[in-house]
Amino acid sequence: MTKKISTANGEAQAAQTDAYVRISTHAQERWTERTSAQESLRAAWERSIRVRAPSASATEVRLYAPCEALLIYRQGALRTVLNNDGRIDCTALGVCTACENLIDPVQDATCRWCGAETETHGRGRASVVRGDKA
């Protein structure tokens, strides 16, 4: 599966192969324990915003904004789910005026959580740092 996404500077690159992401038992347990989300952890991973979390030991971190949950991907699998305690770099993110969840103003023409049109889109208020992933 080679789903394409656009990066902040407009180039296409292959996304993490979401369909095949492995989910550890630990992550699944933390997801159930720490969130009240109705959707599966896999579905949540696919919806969530890629964020920068310099202090986290992870290959990729995504924010599931409705539950303030951080999904931690490391060494080929989703390893755990943490409460967002402010460790992520939110400077490139916007806030949906309809649901007040954090969104990615570059990627989201409509809010990925509630579907509202995002007023931040295209306004260029966010300075996006290109995330170079190994």
Binding site for Zn ion (CB under 5 A): 96, 98-99, 111, 113-114, 116
Minimum Å gap between C-beta 80 and Zn ion is 26
Of 4, 6, 16, 12, give the one whose Cα is nearest residue 133: 16
Q: Do residues 8 and 52 lie in contact, with contact meaning Cβ atoms separated by under 8 Å?
A: no
Is the Cβ of residue 99 or residue 126 nearer to Zn ion in the bound state? 99
Q: Which one, 71 or 94, has the nearer CB to Zn ion?
A: 94
* Closest separation in Å from C-beta 58 to Zn ion: 26
CA separation for the pair 31, 93 (Å, rounded)? 23
Provide the minimum distance between the beta carbon of 99 and Zn ion in the complex, in angstroms, as a whole number. Answer: 3
Using CA atoms, how far residue 129 sits from 74, 79, 91, in Å, is 21, 25, 9
Nearest residue (CB) to Zn ion, 76 versus 115: 115
Rounded Cα distance between 41 and 27, Å, is 8
